[in-house]
């Protein structure tokens, strides 16, 4: 196997072996605590601009299949694992993780002490980094790392949104059974939407049309939807002025449901502010308290930015969910407009299903608005 090297912007160097594409990749390195679901993670568009470290020690043992991808391709910049399993076994598997990464031109490194790396990121925060299989002089690579762009101020949505409008139809082999009759028409603004969100919307009786992130409010309103969904997506929400303005013009005119980046965009559209978390929330085991019921949901999360809840008018909103690890806001609803959002991923994939009731809440909101 080819040698590989991971260099962080603080000068930390990890040596290892390549199991992905040859070359170099630049990105912010973060850690994900999910034990399974690596295929869904690497195809999540929210990871654009990032190198993902898996904290679970062995990755690749069940290969890659046709059903579990969450977007049209791999969007993350690179993958870091402790041990890559060269043998894969699963009845749905079609190829190895290594082959899949090579086909998608994504570098990956194994043999890294991911526990040490994770502790470093928790202490110092997410950092810029490079994985390289072609250059091994740390000082030269470190110079490249420091010159590479960070996430703050970058519009990464334009690199992941589908440029064309399309109708979503769950494929017959997908595991969700879809209803024969679609009662509601939903427009999903694609900032990097995951397929399982679209599957679940269809599963509750929605006819889903996915539009590019730059679609103006007038175009969306002309399609006369029953509701508008704001999708997840990568990076800093503040540069997305075009989406923020679209949402601002939709407020009060159509029911709105936002997830992850959609949560942040709704917050900005309401006049709030966002900030960058130290190392983000990435994994499938984050505890979130539903304030109305007092119940604790175990949630799937993937974000590096957060809404500053104190920047919003408390008379206009109701805080609905709170993160029990760091007390950051995980959800709110508007008291006047038919709009609500959560910071985490109720559609999971991978992760627990505790929060899927939120899709039914969206359905109820559209019913009430009608």
Residues taking part in catalysis? 260, 345, 347
Is the bond leading into 350 cis (omega within 30 degrees of zero)? yes
Burial 168-178 (b: 16+ CB within 10 A, else e): bebeeeeeeeb
Burial 73-102 (b: 16+ CB within 10 A, else e): ebbbbbbbbbebbeebeeeebeebbbebbb
Both tokens of 224, joined, read 């006369």
| Count helices and strands in the chain by DSSP H and E runs | 9, 19
Q: Are strands 206-212 and 166-167 parallel, antiparallel or unpaired?
A: antiparallel
DSSP per position, 188-199: EEESS--HHHHH
Three-state DSSP class for residue 54: strand
Three-state DSSP class for residue 307: strand
Both tokens of 323, joined, read 């993160």
Neighbours of 337 (CB within 10 A): 18
Rounded to a whole number of angstroms, the distance between the first and last alpha carbons of the chain is 60
User: Measuring CA to CA, how many Å separate 266 from each of 63, 70, 244?
Assistant: 37, 23, 7
Beta strand segments in 100-160, E: 108-110, 127-132
Handedness of CA 65, 71, 74, 80 (dihedral sign): negative
Contacts of 304 (CB under 8 A, 6+ apart): 28, 30, 50, 126, 151, 235, 276, 277, 280
* Residue reference for tokens 């994939």: 349
């Amino acid at each position: 196997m080819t040698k590989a090297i991971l260099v962080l912007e603080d000068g930390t160097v990890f040596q290892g072996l390549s199991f992905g594409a040859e070359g170099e990749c630049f990105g912010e390195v973060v850690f994900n605590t999910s034990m399974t679901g690596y295929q869904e993670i690497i195809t999540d568009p929210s990871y654009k601009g990032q190198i993902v470290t898996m904290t679970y020690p062995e990755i690749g043992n069940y290969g890659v299949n046709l059903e579990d991808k969450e977007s049209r391709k791999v969007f993350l910049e690179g993958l870091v694992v402790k041990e890559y399993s060269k043998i894969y076994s699963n009845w749905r598997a079609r190829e190895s993780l290594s082959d899949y990464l090579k086909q998608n031109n994504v570098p990956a490194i194994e043999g890294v002490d991911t526990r040490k790396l994770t502790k470093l990121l928790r202490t110092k925060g997410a950092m810029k980094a490079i994985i390289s299989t072609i250059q091994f002089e740390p000082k030269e690579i470190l110079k490249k790392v420091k010159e590479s762009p960070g996430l703050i101020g970058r519009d990464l949505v334009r690199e992941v949104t589908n440029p064309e409008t399309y109708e979503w139809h769950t494929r017959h082999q997908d595991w969700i059974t879809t209803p024969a009759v679609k009662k509601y028409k939903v427009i999903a603004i694609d900032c990097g939407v995951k397929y399982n969100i679209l599957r679940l919307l269809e599963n509750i009786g929605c006819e889903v049309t996915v539009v590019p992130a730059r679609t103006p409010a007038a175009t969306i309103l002309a399609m006369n939807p029953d509701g508008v969904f704001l999708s997840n997506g990568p990076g800093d929400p503040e540069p997305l002025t075009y989406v923020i303005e679209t949402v601002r013009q939709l407020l009060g005119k159509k029911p709105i449901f936002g997830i992850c980046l959609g949560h942040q965009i709704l917050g900005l559209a309401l006049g709030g502010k966002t900030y960058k978390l130290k190392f983000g929330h990435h994994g499938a085991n984050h505890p979130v308290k539903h304030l109305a019921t007092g119940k604790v949901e175990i949630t799937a999360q993937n974000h590096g930015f957060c809404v500053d809840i104190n920047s919003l008018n408390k008379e206009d909103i109701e805080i609905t969910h709170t993160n029990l690890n760091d007390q950051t806001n995980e959800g709110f609803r508007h008291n006047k407009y038919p709009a609500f959002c959560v910071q985490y991923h109720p559609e999971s994939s991978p992760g627990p299903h505790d929060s899927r009731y939120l899709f039914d809440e969206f359905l109820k909101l559209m019913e009430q608005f009608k």
